[in-house]
Amino acid sequence: MTKTLKRHQPRVSPMDVAFLVPEAYDIKSVMLKLLVAQVGVGVVLAAVLWRIYGDVAGYSALLGSLVCVIPNAFLALRLVVPRRDPGAEGLVRAAYIGELGKLALTVLFFGLVFTLVKPLSAAALFAAFIATQLVTLSGFLMRGGQLTDTSNSNGS
């Protein structure tokens, strides 16, 4: 009787190898900080526009920021929830699905806002959407600045 040996392949999660990339431990907190910053920018911008231009501009700006934040939160959740396939292929699949879902939610929310909210200040809506979206870009730019320092202690 011949026994066949099954090769044991342990499941490795991204957190198991996070020591290779120290920032990987913090990915959830980075995403949370970005989402909170987006909400903060949206609320502050809505309050400023509300004070200067009135109610319509204020709630239009608040809706514009929500149209940005909610789909971004969907994408963030898609990337951090545990998957059946914890490897790189599963992460790429989750990113594609998350990005498509984010795009679909953005289109859906803009459609809902334009059809259901009357009166509406389109300028305030889009200004808040763009300002809230730029928070993500500023996060990448700040992160990129941290990555450019490649000096090490051995002099090379």
Integer Cα distance of 156 and 150 in angstroms: 10
pTM, rounded to two decimals: 0.72
Integer Cα distance of 39 and 37 in angstroms: 5
Integer Cα distance of 96 and 90 in angstroms: 10
Integer Cα distance of 106 and 83 in angstroms: 24
Taking Cα atoms as reference points, which of 46, 38, 47 lies closest to residue 125? 46
Q: Per-residue pLDDT tens for 41-78?
A: 999 999 999 999 999 999 999 999 999 999 999 988 88
Q: Residue 18 carries which side chain, given as an amino acid letter?
A: A
